[in-house]
Structure 1
């Protein structure tokens, strides 16, 4: 129970840290622009030129079509860089002198990250500026109680996909936010189901429960409500799958650690 209380406090600290980080970022104006790509929709305004105001979509080739200029390659540019590029083209072609161009991104379909698994709201989320893993998890509503503390991040590394496992709880415990990685477009963030254990026999509440880190057999019994009047701690047995998948039946002590998918059986006292 002490470990569970510590974990609860760590999660509270984690959420406060996210809140402070968000405030600091907003105060310092550190939000960075996302680059444009195919599928993004832009609204382009030219001051004093309503005929040039238009809404365009970036093509698969990375181009947009703009009045009097035709196709303009914008893939990989930020909205601000695209504004400057249009200004230079309008001036170089003697179409306008000192034009004022403003671009609003109506949607950023090219800069998306997928969040799946045991989060509150699975889905695809836009990456506007620099986003870290914890921010993406917060956008998805956070990890639900059945979710694991380890997050799997899958991303393309050129010719192949690379998997990285981040232990969020350990990151918070150690204060090492170097593992709070920057998320890139097309990354996949997956939260697995938390490890579980099973308990049956002479306990108050037989069933399946979430396995906390470093949980002992005694702690597992307390989660199950403790022994019934007929139960005994003598001869505690655990059914466990070995490395090769073979089922083993082990006699354990109350201080032994429980492993994922263990089945704890509480015998009936003969006396």
Structure 2
């Protein structure tokens, strides 16, 4: 009975973490460096793939320039759907997907600091591994993430197992011992 309870509690914790991560990505806002694909079913001339620049403007056929920085994927789908529906198409089937996320950056006490392609599920430990691993002087407790939340840059205290997001800047401090 104790084993069943342990397995059940483990499942609930895993499901909660997974749902929290999925919720974070459903609220993921587009930013410069992301590559998106916009597809309108049956309308090849309205489908495109583009990397977002610093300005974050997509020149979209029929609708013109669309500022997409800070929009979620579903908000962009709705915006394009509403713009095409009516005069141009009766009931457009619009799909927006992220082909490539913007990179994350890792600085400080890792062997190869710099920018790396983001992959869903990355933790700070995995990001450090991509950067060649921690140096001998790396602190495992003085880890900070610079992240943009609701348009504001914030610095978060982090631990090695914390999930990172696209565009994060991870800073690994030096330990004294």
Which TM-score band (shorter chain)?
0.5 to 0.7
Give the TM-score normalised by structure 2. Answer: 0.65
Structure number with the bigger relative contact order (C-alpha 8 A, sep ≥ 6) is 2
Please say which structure displays the higher CA radius of gyration.
1
The Cα shift of 1:148 comes to 1.7
- Does 1:78 pair with 2:99? no
Work out the CA distance in 2 between the residues paired with 1:41 and 1:187: 17
- Does 1:52 pair with 2:46? yes
Corresponding residue to 1:95 among 88, 107, 110: 88
Give the TM-score normalised by structure 1. Answer: 0.46
Matches within 5 A, 1:1-271: 24=15, 28=19, 30-31=21-22, 32-33=25-26, 34-92=28-86, 94-109=87-102, 112-119=103-110, 122-125=113-116, 135-141=123-129, 144=134, 146=136, 147-153=138-144, 155=146, 168=159, 186-195=167-176, 211=177
Instruction: Classify the secondary structure of the residue corresponding to 2:123.
Output: helix
- Pairwise CA RMSD of aligned residues? 4.0
The Cα shift of 1:191 comes to 1.9
Work out the CA distance in 2 between the residues paired with 1:116 and 1:45: 37
More displaced stretch, 54-63 vs 74-83? 54-63
Aligned length: 159
Unpaired runs of 5+ in structure 2?
1-10
